[in-house]
A and B are shown apart, each in its own frame.
Chain A
Amino acid sequence: MSDLSVQIGPLTLANPLMAASGCFGYGVEYAGAVDLSTLGAVVSKGLFLKPREGHPPERIVETPSGMLNAIGLQGIGVHRYIAEKLPELRERRATNVINICGSTLDEYVELARILSDADGVHALELNISCPNIKEGGITFGCSLNGTFDVVSAVRKVTHLPVIPKLTPNVTDVASFARASEEAGADAVSLVNTFLAMAIDVETRRPKLSNVVGGLSGPAIRPIAVRMVYECQRAVKIPVIGMGGIASARDVLEFLIAGATAVQIGTANFVDPFIWSKVLNGIRDYLQRHDVARVADLVGTIDTSSREKQWTSS
């Protein structure tokens, strides 16, 4: 039997599959479809201190092999999350990574403090990359100093693993991974969605109420793989990869590129029963390639004959 467990800083995940933030509700919505304890982790929908209404519809639109979303981080806020969702998640023995969002540095710190005292929280993912709200964390995520400051500030107030979630909407994502590492992050996760838009040519109106939104799904996968590859070369902390993963093959591609774990988002919308299928596919692969531990695959990309063609930093 292969060992599927992976290590994210001090946190051991039963397997490398995490449900991506914003794509799995608060987790409890899917408890009827999947045994939450069998996932590597459940990443909560992004939480602010206070409840938020989000954007008016239309909030999503399908694009070739992908989708745009501009939900606007509708959510119940951290206090209701702890009171209403966390007890059930604890009971179902989920590994809970809480995605936190702030408009200010103080708000991230306050959220980290509150969640550090809550029972059943296993790690914090810092949302500094949502492209859809002006007042949110993207202002931190698009500045190296901002990224460093928010990660350091949260690091100081929590014992929990800290995982900044990086935006791909920057020139050099690896430098943001380095800034995160220097600030004390336990891991980085990437990529959040690509800022994008779609227009109805008949009406000449944007298809999303927010005009622009974030692109996810298989369409972005090759870019995400490249960015994960760049980041794992730049830092020693684990990289959690995501972007268009829809099969075991896709997971393996990210692991080989250097991801220690992965998140599945959009594909869960299409198939809420995807998790066991992907895990079985990974087991088959490990057996076929005689690999004892899934962790042994991480970063095993062989560029020996192609290194010359790699021109980026």
Chain B
Amino acid sequence: MPVDVEARVIRNTRLSSDYNVIALAAPEIAGAVEPGQFVMVKPGRGTDPLLRRPFSVFEVLRREGRVEGLTLLSKRIGAVTGLLFDVVEGDVVSCLGPLGRPFNLVDPPAEAWMVAGGVGLAPFATLAESLVARGTKTTLFYGARSGAELFYLDWFESRGIRLVLSTEDGSRGERGRVTVPLERELRRAGSADLESADIKVFACGPEPMLEAVSQLAAKYGKRSEVSVERVMGCGMGGCYSCVIPVRDAGGGHHYVRSCISGPVFAGADLAWD
């Protein structure tokens, strides 16, 4: 059951002119959240902006062994992310959660390959921690527009995550889309010995990227799970705005609410249209 926390801003760390990480004192949510789940967030109390916005929980903050709060990775795009870019320590942000279905983790000897595009990095810090705790070998394929928009690389490396980077302008890692190195490595894994070939792909980012990753995973016989982001009104299944088409047995598709049936879906279940 979700709870609503009037969470105090512990700190707001600006990563660039658009990206920031907001630390919120919401231990009730942080202590319960599973990787891939999200919170519905509203800065301030007024009616404009009116609705909450969905955010993956980025990190769970711990201090002296106790859960202190959580962080959100935000990219300034609209009114709410603009307000969140400007919050200062001591401000209050309403935080409702945890919500949605989490990722299904994998255990060794299976490997986990996480594929992040831009702000789609958000669900992978908590996922990486859970995977590392199980001893699952984990790789992060991480693409962004430029090297200046690749964040938390030390954070992932220090936890033993292998990084494969790509940027659209070639300023860091490989030039081009993240799916290029992903496909190359999938192909290589497919031709390697069977022992190392059990790989599950996790992806979050723009929907065209999620579609491409799902199709690549299917092409090379790998399972995939993707975390989608749709325009969401309530996060609780009440409004039916965040629907996404999933495949029927009969070859058609039907809409399900991404807030309660997702945001994590098996890549093979979604009807990319």
Contact = CB atoms under 8 A, between A and B. Distances in A.
Judged by DSSP, the binding face of B is: loop
B64 to A, nearest CB: 31
A54 B240 contact: yes
Contacts of A23: 238-239
Given A65-B48, A67-B50, A67-B233, A57 B243 contact: yes
Contacts of B51: 62, 67, 269-270
B50 A30 contact: no
Contacts of A60: 231, 233, 239, 241
A23 B1 CA distance: 19
A124 to B, nearest CB: 21
Contacts of B241: 57-60, 69, 71
Contacts of A29: 236-238, 260
Contacts of A269: 51-52, 233-234, 236, 238-239
A268 interface: yes
Contacts of A33: 1-2, 236
Nearest to A69: B241
Contact of B239 (A64, A71, A218): A71
Interface of A: 22-25, 29-30, 32-33, 45, 53-54, 57-62, 64-67, 69, 71, 74, 217-219, 246, 266, 268-273
Nearest to B48: A65
Contact of A273 (B4, B47, B79): B4
Given A24-B238, A269-B51, A271-B4, 6 more contacts: A25-B237, A65-B48, A71-B240, A217-B47, A246-B47, A270-B234
Contacts of A62: 49-51, 79
Contacts of A22: 239-240
B134 to A, nearest CB: 29
Interface string B241-255: 111100000000011
